[in-house]
Amino acid sequence: MDFNFSPLEKMVQKTARDFCEKEITKIDAYMAEHNDYPPDLLQRFAKSRLLGMDVPKEFGGIGSTNFNLILFAEEIGKTGSTSMLPFFMNNSVAETICYWGTDEMKQKFVPPLCDGSSWASMAFTEPGTGSDPKALTMVAEPDGDDFILNGTKRFISMANKPGCGVFFAKDLSLTGSKKDTTAFIVDKSSPGISFSGHYELMGLDGADTCDVFFKDVRVPKANILGEQGKGFKILLRWIAGERIQQCAAMVGGAQGALEEAARYSKERVVGGFPLGFMQGFTWMLAEMKTKVDACRLMVYRTILLQDQKQPFEVPSAELKVFVVPMAQEVCRMAVQIHGSYGYSKEYKVEKLFRNAMHGGIVASSLEINKTIAGMAYLAGR
């Protein structure tokens, strides 16, 4: 595989860096004050042509590649900004609707996701389950040309923002079937939907994550995404793509932590010498860089499979198994190099370390991905 960037890819990377340099400080300042995203955040992304990146132009997208998308994911990951989450969600939900939806769905729901007027959500997780469709308690009951949805979804990003979301429910018209999970595109302003307050998280400061409560919410049957009763397939493909984006951002975060550690190790003088030129710290920096480089190459390999329309669900699980602990360790080592300063919120590595901890539990847990990768390997043997 050739990982030399094309002129277009170099331009995308420069656009991403320029956006982060010009916008992220202002975005993060707003989030620190309001504990929420700026109302015009998605419009800022759209103005820089960072939404709908892998969506065809006829549906309002850029018509680019997933590889270009993760180039931006890595750049925004370096900053430690939680604004990466809406970027991921809008791009991935738009791509998912384009992949599974009818032309009518694409025309109705995708352009607003690309121009930033609609905040996307993806909602499978519930109080009692995060990965098992058999344990879903949200139900969808047919009623004429509609379904009536009742239940609770938990830890749903951007749920209380205006726009659409893909919600998964147990389809009561298919009760008893082995495949009775149906995916619905839902307008989040629909009557009967309410929300909890934001969850306070260890990292991802200001993330808009809450519970969603459905009380007799009416959704047209025309809003069923993909085949009725086969919603879990949609979730598995979406979350495989989300894992790659997440890992790209974690590589960016680890790269940012490495750069911060290298800078500090040159500035910090101990016994008349810069800290970084003491053998123990030099070795730490070498190990950190090697881990970051290896993780980045694995991300590139996996995203190319998606762009080449090859199966990427299992490789994305393998990617997560490798990248998450590596990136977390790099961020931990960066904190260690900073000493007591690394434990202070005045230094960026503290934030990067906290953010890195989300990788083991968000976008499917590390243990589930080990199961996916291990069972797939055994089956292939």
- Residue 4: the pLDDT is 82
**What residues pair up with 170 in beta bridges, in sequence order?**
139, 181
> Mean of the pLDDT values across residues 262-269?
94
Q: Which domains does the chain have, with CATH numbers?
A: 7-115 (1.10.540.10), 121-229 (2.40.110.10), 233-380 (1.20.140.10)
Residues 6+ apart with CB under 8 A from 43: 115, 116, 117
> Mean of the pLDDT values across residues 183-188?
98
- Residue 190: the pLDDT is 97
> Mean of the pLDDT values across residues 321-340?
97
Position 234 confidence tier, pLDDT thresholds 50, 70, 90: very high
| Interatomic CA distance for residues 259 and 295, integer angstroms | 16
Helix (H) or strand (E) holding 158: none
> Mean of the pLDDT values across residues 86-90?
96
- Residue 2: the pLDDT is 65
Closest alpha carbon to 358 in 233, 242, 227, 255: 242
pLDDT, mean over the chain: 94
| pLDDT tens string 356-373 | 999 999 989 999 999 999
Helix (H) or strand (E) holding 377: helix 366-380
| Interatomic CA distance for residues 4 and 13, integer angstroms | 13
- Residue 178: the pLDDT is 64
The alpha carbon torsion through 1, 100, 182, 367 (nearest 10 deg) reads: 10
pTM for the whole structure = 0.94
| pLDDT tens string 93-130 | 999 999 999 999 999 999 999 999 999 999 999 999 98
φ/ψ of residue 189, rounded to 5: -95, 10
- Cβ pair 361, 283 in contact under 8 A: no
Residue 1 burial class via C-beta count within 10 angstroms: exposed 0-12, middle 13-18, buried 19 and up = exposed
Composition of the chain by helix, strand, coil, percent to 5: 55, 15, 25
- Residue 380: the pLDDT is 86
- Residue 130: the pLDDT is 85
| pLDDT tens string 126-183 | 999 988 888 999 999 999 999 999 999 999 999 999 999 999 999 999 876 667 999 9
Helix (H) or strand (E) holding 282: helix 279-307
> Mean of the pLDDT values across residues 186-197?
97
Q: What percent of the chain has pLDDT over 90?
A: 90
- Residue 255: the pLDDT is 98
Position 272 confidence tier, pLDDT thresholds 50, 70, 90: confident
- Residue 134: the pLDDT is 86
